[in-house]
Amino acid sequence: MARGHLGRRPDWRCARCADPWPCPTFRALTPAPGAGAGRLLPSLVLVLRQAIPDLRGRPEGPRPPEIVQRFLWLLNLNAEEARATALRLRR
């Protein structure tokens, strides 16, 4: 995996390169959807559940559907799917 390229709370920037996490390096080293990325999905959802409250209250921060698309990029969700996912994760 992308050694050291982990998200840092509460701003969710990469601990190694300081880009918004998941950073380009982490994404590039993540398996393609058909090559085992599904095993990573449960971990990404756990991180996403922490990221939504951390990021949504910031004045310059993204809205929850944008956070969902950012953290679950490998699912290639459209805006409506991301919105529905964000609503479901609020519970």
Domain residue ranges of the chain, discontinuous segments joined by +? 7-89
67 with 56: CB under 8 angstroms? Answer: yes
Q: Render pLDDT for 55-88 as a digit per residue (tens, 0 to 9).
A: 987 888 899 999 999 999 988 899 999 999 999 9
Distance CA 73, CA 1 (A): 16
Question: Which one-letter DSSP state was computed for residue 13?
Answer: E
Predicted model pTM: 0.85
